[in-house]
Structure 1
Amino acid sequence: MTNAPGNNMVDVLDHCRVSPSLDLSVTKTLPLTFFDIFWLNWPSLSRVYFYEIPCSTTEFTQTIVPHLKKSLASTLEHYYRFCGNLLIPTTLSDNTIPAIRYLDGDSVSLVIAEFSGVASEGLTNLSGNDARDVEELLALVPELPRGSTDTSEDGTVMVSPVLALQVTLFRDHGFSVGIRNSHVVADGKSMYNFIRTWTSISAKQLIGEDDFKNLDSLPFYDRSVIKDPNGMGSIFLRESLRMAEEYQKDFAHAGDKKKMVQATFVMNRAQIHGLKNLVSGQVPHVSTFVAVCAYVWTCMAKARAALGQETNVEAEVVENFVFAMDARARLDPPIASNYFGNAVLGCWTSLKTIQLVGEEGFGNAVKKIRTVLDEQINNEEGVLKGMDTVFDRIEARKGQMSFGVAGSPKFDYYSADFGWGKPKKYKVISEKFALAGSRDSEGDLELGFCFSKDEMDAFTTIFTQGLLN
C-alpha cells in the first residue's frame, strides 16, 4: 500500500490496466477533425462521482472492484478509442495526420485507492457543497500517464494517453470514481455517453443481463459526417502548434489548482424563475441557461471589482463570457447525438466591467448572451460561419478577462448508477464554473465553482445576497 503521488489523502491499493473484454485484434486510427484539433493545447478535464454505499475493504476489493473492472472492459469493447493514444505531429513539416490510434493490447489506466483519513468525514466533506481545497478533490482523480515522443519515417509525433480512471474507497461509507480525459478526444456529450454506457452495462451485469447492443449511448465513429470544405483542420493545426508554448504558460498561470477551493451552490426553480422575471419585459422567453449564466457572469465581475483584480470599473476593461454549443443537431446535415469526439462550437460575448456591475448589469448580460446564441443558431450560412477565424478572435482577446462555463443542465449526471444507487454527488474540478442538474429536485441546478479563496469569499457574498434581493 503506497500513497498516491503528491498527496497523503489516499493510499494506492492497486494500479492496473483494463483492456476491452474481447480481443479486437485490429489497429484502428481515427483522424481528428477541426472540432478536435481546436482543443490541442487545452488542459485535461477532471470530474468525480461520489457513491454512498456502505462497504468494507474486503467487499470493495473482492466484489465491487472486480465488477467495475468487468463492466469497464465490456464498455471498452465499444469505447476502445479511450484505450488508444493521441498521435500529434510536433511540426507542420511532419506528414502525420493528427489522430487517435488504437493498437491491439492498448488499455486504460485504472487506480484503485483508499481514503487514508476518517472515511465518514472524508466522504461527507469532499462530497459536500461547502468550500474545500481543490487539492483534496484532486487526490481522487488520477493523472493522465505521460506521453512520449516517437520518430518514424513520417516525422516526429507526440504519443499521449487520453483517459485515466481512479476508484477510491471510503471504508464502510462508499467510494468515488474519478475521471481524467483529454478534451481533444471527447467533448462533454461524448464523456456523458461513455459514463452512461459504463454504468448501464454495470447495472445490467449485476442482474445477469449481457445484452448491451441496444444502448442509445454507444458511440458513432464515422468521421465522414464532419465536412471541412474550408480546410479548418489544417488551419487549426498550424495555429495550435504555433501557440502551444503560449497556451501552456497561460494555463499554468491560471490553473494552479492547489491554491483554489471548490464549492457547489444550488439554485432552485423559484430563484431561476425570479431571475427570468427580472428581464421578462426586455427579453422574452429567456432560457434557464441564459438566465443563470448571465447572473453568474455579473456576480463574478462584481467580485473581481470588489477585490480590485485588474478590473477597474472606471476603465474601459472588457470581460468575456465563453460557452459551448453542441453542434450535432445544428450541422447541415445533422449528425447523430452519439457521435464520438468533439462537436461543440465556442461562443464568445463581451461587455465592459461597468456594464456588468451596475443596476442594468444582469439585463445587459442576458441580452448579450441571448444575442450571440440567436446569431449562431439563425445564421443563414450555417453554424460554422466564421469558425475558420476563431484563432484570430482568440488573439484579439488576449490579455482580456475571460470567464466560461462547462457542463449542461441537459445532461442527467445523476443517472450514473452502477447498480448500487445513483451518485451522492457529481463534481467537475477542472473548470472555474460548471453546470449540472440537481440530484434530488427536478428543475433545480447545481453550480460548481473553482476559485481562489478570496475570490470565493467575495463571490459567495455577492451571489447569495443577489438572490435574496
Structure 2
Amino acid sequence: MASAEQKVKVVEHCEISPPPGSVPPTSLPLTFFDIPWLLFSPSQPLFFYELPHVSTTHFTTIILPNLKHSLSLTLQRFFPLAGNLTTPLHPTKPHLVYTEGDSISLTVAESTGDYFNHLTGHYPRHVRDFHHLVPQLEPPTVSSDPHTHPTLAIQITVFPNCGICIGFTFLNVLGDGRTFNNFLKSWASIFRLGIDSDLPVLNQFYDRSVISDPNGLEPIFLEEWWSLRTSQKEFMDTSRMGLKDMVRATFVMGPTHMEKLKQWIRTRSKKIFGSPDLHLTPYIITCAFVWACLTKARGIDNKEVCEELHYFGFIAGGITRLDYPVPTNYFGNCVAFGRPVTKRNELLGEDGIVFAAKSIGETTKKLDGDVLGGGKSWISDGKVLLGSELHVTVTGSPKVDLYELDFGWGRPRKIEEISIDRSRAVSLTESRDVEGGIEIGLALSKPKMDAFASLFANSFNDLL
C-alpha cells in the first residue's frame, strides 16, 4: 500500500470575524447537554471537492475573497464559532463568550503533490497522509481566570488541477452535528447564492432557557467535570496512542445488504430469544454489524473472560425525544448518550450481530421513552468507552446529510473524520453514492483493517 506522504505549504493565514458592529458582546452559559463535551477531543472533518481546473492563483484571487466574505456574513449569525470557550478556575459554569473583534483562524495551503484521488479513495490509506490537511486550534490562554479556548479553526488546501479540501477543527461543546451542519449549509448557501437569496436556517436560536433540566443533571456534570479537570485527567489521553502503523478506510453498507441482514437477524432472533420482534432500523443494523465485526477484527478472543461485558457508545438526538419543544435552529448540543452492553462470548459467537442488534435496539427504545433517564451516568459511561480497544464508540450520524454541502462545486467527493485516528471511534455518515446507504469510517492498524475488511466482505456470504 503506497503512502501519499502528504505535504502542504501555507499560502496565507488570516483571521475572519463577523462584520464590525454586527454582533453585540454575548455570553452563553453551557447547558447540561453541553458540559459532557468539555471532556471530548475536537472533531476534525475534512470535505474534499473536485475542481479539476483550479490553480492556486485562481483560487486565491477569484474564489477565496468570496469565501472569506461569505464566512464573515455567516459568522454574524453563528457568532459563538468566532468567540471563545471560557472555563473558570473555580467550579462555576463555563460559557461561550463573544466580544467585538473575536475571530476564527483561516489557513490557506497548497498541496505539494498530486494526491487528491488517493486521499478520496475508500481503500486503506495511512492516517498520516491526512494530518497536514487538519487546521490547528490556537492554544488556550491559561494565564488568567477564566481560561480562554478558541473553538474553531479552518484550513483550505488547494490540490492544483484536482480540487480542494476544506478542513475543520472545532470543539464539540459548541453544538451537535445539527448545529454544525446548519453553519456549514448557511456558509455554502451565502457563498453560492448571495446574502439576499432565500437561504436555509440562518438566524440561530440562542435562548438557553429553552433547555429544561428536570433530572438535575447540570450540577452533577459540573462536579464531575471539575473533579476531572483539577486532577488533570481527560476522557482521552491520546499522547501515547501510536499512529505509525495505522490506516483509515471506508466501507459502505447499502440498503440491500441492510434488508437481507435484517431478515437474517429476525430469523436467528426467533430461534435464540423466542421472538423476532426486535427494533431494527438501518442505523441499528449497521451499528450491530460494525460492533460484532470490529470486536472480532481486533482479536479480542480471550475465552477465560468470556463473560466480560462489552459496551457500545452512540449518541441519540434529543430534539425529537424531549417532552418539550426545542427549535431546530437552536444553537448548542441537544443529544443524549446510549451505552448498550453484551457479553464477550455472545458478541464473538456466530450470532454476535443478533446480540448486538438486540442490545442496541433495546437501548434506543429506552431513549425513545425517556431520553434523559440514564443521564446521570453519561460522563462516567464515557470514561469507560472512549479510547478503548475493548469497547466500540460511533461518532456522526447518517441523518445529517453532509454530502449535500454544496458551495457551487457540486457535492463533496469524500468526507473523512480525522479525530477517529486517536479516539478509536467509528465514524458514520450517509453514503454519497448509494441511496439509503451508510458510510463507515475506520482507523485501525493494517492487520486489523484487513481482518475487518475480510469480515465485512464475507459475512453476507457466510450468514445469508
Compared with structure 1, are the counterparts of its residues 334 and 400 closer, same or farther at alpha carbon in structure 2 (3 Å cutoff)? farther
Task: Establish whether residue 428 from structure 1 lines up as the match of residue 417 from structure 2.
Answer: yes
CA distance in 1, matches of 2:86, 2:206: 17
Task: Establish whether residue 216 from structure 1 lines up as the match of residue 201 from structure 2.
Answer: yes
Secondary structure of the residue that 1:355 maps to in structure 2?
helix
- Of 17, 20, 34 in structure 2, the residue corresponding to residue 19 of structure 1 is 17
Q: Where does structure 2 lack aligned partners over 5 or more consecutive residues?
A: 268-275
CA distance in 1, matches of 2:319, 2:209: 14
- Once the two structures are overlaid, the 10-residue window that deviates more, 38-47 or 389-398, is 389-398
Check conservation: 2:33, 2:333, Cα contact below 8 A. Answer: yes
- Once the two structures are overlaid, the 10-residue window that deviates more, 368-377 or 186-195, is 186-195
Compared with structure 1, are the counterparts of its residues 32 and 192 closer, same or farther at alpha carbon in structure 2 (3 Å cutoff)? same
1:386 deviation in Å?
3.2
- Of 100, 104, 108 in structure 1, the residue corresponding to residue 96 of structure 2 is 100
Check conservation: 2:312, 2:392, Cα contact below 8 A. Answer: yes
Compared with structure 1, are the counterparts of its residues 395 and 187 closer, same or farther at alpha carbon in structure 2 (3 Å cutoff)? closer
Task: Establish whether residue 383 from structure 1 lines up as the match of residue 383 from structure 2.
Answer: no
Matches of residues 58-137 of structure 1 in structure 2 within 5 Å?
A: 58-92=57-91, 96-117=92-113, 119=114, 122-137=115-130
Secondary structure of the residue that 1:149 maps to in structure 2?
coil
1:393 deviation in Å?
4.3
Compared with structure 1, are the counterparts of its residues 45 and 258 closer, same or farther at alpha carbon in structure 2 (3 Å cutoff)? farther
Compared with structure 1, are the counterparts of its residues 460 and 396 closer, same or farther at alpha carbon in structure 2 (3 Å cutoff)? closer
1:314 deviation in Å?
3.5
1:21 deviation in Å?
2.8
Check conservation: 2:235, 2:383, Cα contact below 8 A. Answer: no
- Partner of residue 291, structure 2: 297
- Of 427, 433, 441 in structure 2, the residue corresponding to residue 440 of structure 1 is 433
Secondary structure of the residue that 1:139 maps to in structure 2?
helix
> What amino acid maps onto 1:297 in structure 2?
W
Task: Establish whether residue 252 from structure 1 lines up as the match of residue 238 from structure 2.
Answer: yes
> What amino acid maps onto 1:109 in structure 2?
S
Task: Establish whether residue 237 from structure 1 lines up as the match of residue 227 from structure 2.
Answer: no
Secondary structure of the residue that 2:190 maps to in structure 1?
helix
Check conservation: 1:314, 1:354, Cα contact below 8 A. Answer: no
- Partner of residue 339, structure 1: 330
- Partner of residue 248, structure 2: 262
CA distance in 2, matches of 1:390, 1:414: 30
Check conservation: 1:320, 1:400, Cα contact below 8 A. Answer: no
- Partner of residue 43, structure 1: 41
| Structure 2 length-normalised TM | 0.90
1:97 deviation in Å?
3.0
1:437 deviation in Å?
1.4
- Partner of residue 4, structure 1: none
- Partner of residue 271, structure 2: none
CA distance in 2, matches of 1:423, 1:228: 38
Compared with structure 1, are the counterparts of its residues 287 and 246 closer, same or farther at alpha carbon in structure 2 (3 Å cutoff)? farther
- Once the two structures are overlaid, the 10-residue window that deviates more, 230-239 or 316-325, is 230-239
Secondary structure of the residue that 1:277 maps to in structure 2?
helix
CA distance in 2, matches of 1:456, 1:239: 36
Compared with structure 1, are the counterparts of its residues 73 and 236 closer, same or farther at alpha carbon in structure 2 (3 Å cutoff)? same
Compared with structure 1, are the counterparts of its residues 467 and 148 closer, same or farther at alpha carbon in structure 2 (3 Å cutoff)? same
CA distance in 2, matches of 1:397, 1:285: 24
Q: Deviations over 1:6-46 (max 9, x none)?
A: x9611000111011135225211011011111111111110
Task: Establish whether residue 354 from structure 1 lines up as the match of residue 345 from structure 2.
Answer: yes
> What amino acid maps onto 1:391 in structure 2?
I
Check conservation: 2:318, 2:371, Cα contact below 8 A. Answer: yes
Secondary structure of the residue that 2:137 maps to in structure 1?
coil
- Of 210, 213, 220 in structure 2, the residue corresponding to residue 225 of structure 1 is 210
Compared with structure 1, are the counterparts of its residues 433 and 391 closer, same or farther at alpha carbon in structure 2 (3 Å cutoff)? closer
CA distance in 1, matches of 2:400, 2:82: 24
- Of 261, 265, 276 in structure 2, the residue corresponding to residue 275 of structure 1 is 261
Matches of residues 138-153 of structure 1 in structure 2 within 5 Å?
A: 138-151=131-144
Q: Deviations over 1:243-269 (max 9, x none)?
A: 245643743157545553211112222
Identity percentage of aligned residues: 37
- Partner of residue 198, structure 1: 187
- Of 141, 156, 165 in structure 1, the residue corresponding to residue 154 of structure 2 is 165
Task: Establish whether residue 458 from structure 1 lines up as the match of residue 451 from structure 2.
Answer: yes
1:216 deviation in Å?
2.6
Q: Deviations over 1:197-226 (max 9, x none)?
A: 111111103xxxx22575235422110111
Check conservation: 1:197, 1:218, Cα contact below 8 A. Answer: no
Q: Deviations over 1:155-183 (max 9, x none)?
A: x2210000000000000111010011001
CA distance in 2, matches of 1:302, 1:18: 46
Secondary structure of the residue that 1:221 maps to in structure 2?
coil
Secondary structure of the residue that 1:144 maps to in structure 2?
coil
- Once the two structures are overlaid, the 10-residue window that deviates more, 253-262 or 21-30, is 253-262
Check conservation: 1:322, 1:348, Cα contact below 8 A. Answer: yes
1:89 deviation in Å?
1.6
CA distance in 2, matches of 1:178, 1:343: 24
Q: Where does structure 1 lack aligned partners over 5 or more consecutive residues?
A: 1-6
Aligned residue pairs, count = 442
Secondary structure of the residue that 1:48 maps to in structure 2?
strand
Check conservation: 1:90, 1:241, Cα contact below 8 A. Answer: no
Secondary structure of the residue that 2:161 maps to in structure 1?
coil
Task: Establish whether residue 329 from structure 1 lines up as the match of residue 315 from structure 2.
Answer: no
1:325 deviation in Å?
0.3
> What amino acid maps onto 1:336 in structure 2?
P
| Structure 1 length-normalised TM | 0.89
Compared with structure 1, are the counterparts of its residues 394 and 125 closer, same or farther at alpha carbon in structure 2 (3 Å cutoff)? closer
Compared with structure 1, are the counterparts of its residues 322 and 81 closer, same or farther at alpha carbon in structure 2 (3 Å cutoff)? same
- Of 390, 394, 419 in structure 2, the residue corresponding to residue 405 of structure 1 is 394
1:389 deviation in Å?
3.5
CA distance in 1, matches of 2:232, 2:364: 29
CA distance in 1, matches of 2:435, 2:203: 26
Secondary structure of the residue that 1:43 maps to in structure 2?
coil
